[in-house]
Amino acid sequence: MAERSDGRLDTGTGVAGGPGAGVTPRGAEGPAAATPGTAVEPSAASRGTAVDPAAVTPGTAVEPADRAGGAQAPGDAPASGVNAPASAGDAPASGVNAPASAGDAPRWQAAVARRTGETDVRLTLNLRGSGRAELEFPVPFLRHMLHLFAVHGRFDLTVQADGDVDVDDHHLVEDIGLCLGKALHQALGDKRGIRRYGERHTPMDETLARAVIDLSGRPAFVLHANIPAQRVGTFPTELVREFFKSFANEGRMALHLAVLYGEDSHHMIEALFKATAAALREATSPDGDAVPSSKGVLE
């Protein structure tokens, strides 16, 4: 295990400042390089400002009508009408526009800020987004993967992060996975009205990967993959496991990943991220009004 206690950060970007100091975008490898075509400039709201749900997603910013039918992400549009008033479900129609519970931010969105002696991560997630990614952190291969993740899940995802990458990429990769899981869990609220399960096979050329998800509230993670290369670019491939393990733990889901076969390490990892995004899109997609559990509760 790498040393974790020295508390040093990459002070070259000013991250070691106070909690409100923000993460200075890394110009040379900024979002334009990381996410060609879809990257957007950091908004004033997300740059240099403390990230908290209230700041990033003010109460009026997102219409709770997202849940009220018709507002599903493009392509979902179940013909049956998810929130048909004649539904035999037990959720009263008035519940559709009510906050899921006290303190819940706008549904389907979350913001997470987490700062430790090793890393400083600010992340926002919108499960009903359009696939926009804004990624600023010094792990190029993971930027590539999270860009794919946003596109194939049609999530909006922003990550501004820095950390002790002079040690290695381990802490930062692990902590970004952790914050993504936290954001997912927050964004789902009480999990009312989602499918809960999702699965996808994703090929990438000679490789075939599979992701199966249950948003059960119980963390579990299984990865079956023999990735031949030690590194892809500068990225240690062993960190794929660390990233997804943190994501599954904090997202409180069962996440089962497998590379069924393949040859190219880049393809294998990319297919895993794409499959996970698509499976998560399915698992979080609208389905009825109830909490999808015979117990009535998913934590």
Residues near Mn ion (CB under 5 A) are 270
Answer for the pair 120, 82: CB distance below 8 angstroms, yes or no.
no
Nearer to Mn ion by Cβ, of 164 and 270: the residue is 270
Supply the minimum distance, in Å, between the C-beta of residue 144 and Mn ion: 6
Q: Closest residue (Cβ) to Mn ion? A: 270
Supply the minimum distance, in Å, between the C-beta of residue 270 and Mn ion: 5
Nearest-10 Cα torsion for 95, 101, 102, 108: -100
Answer for the pair 130, 156: CB distance below 8 angstroms, yes or no.
yes
Supply the minimum distance, in Å, between the C-beta of residue 141 and Mn ion: 9
Contacts of 249 (CB under 8 A, 6+ apart): 178, 181, 219, 221
Alpha helices in the chain (DSSP H): 31-34, 53-56, 140-153, 170-188, 239-251, 265-283
Nearer to Mn ion by Cβ, of 113 and 239: the residue is 239
Supply the minimum distance, in Å, between the C-beta of residue 143 and Mn ion: 11
Nearer to Mn ion by Cβ, of 123 and 148: the residue is 148
Supply the minimum distance, in Å, between the C-beta of residue 204 and Mn ion: 8
Nearer to Mn ion by Cβ, of 33 and 71: the residue is 33
Rg (CA), the chain: 19
Nearer to Mn ion by Cβ, of 218 and 231: the residue is 231
Structure-block tokens of residue 76: 């979902």
Angstrom distance (rounded) from CA 16 to CA 8: 8
Angstrom distance (rounded) from CA 73 to CA 86: 23
Angstrom distance (rounded) from CA 254 to CA 243: 14
Angstrom distance (rounded) from CA 125 to CA 256: 22
Supply the minimum distance, in Å, between the C-beta of residue 34 and Mn ion: 12
Supply the minimum distance, in Å, between the C-beta of residue 140 and Mn ion: 11
Structure-block tokens of residue 242: 């660390």
Nearer to Mn ion by Cβ, of 128 and 144: the residue is 144
Nearer to Mn ion by Cβ, of 270 and 289: the residue is 270
Dihedral of alpha carbons 268, 272, 274, 278, sign: positive
Nearer to Mn ion by Cβ, of 174 and 270: the residue is 270
Supply the minimum distance, in Å, between the C-beta of residue 32 and Mn ion: 17
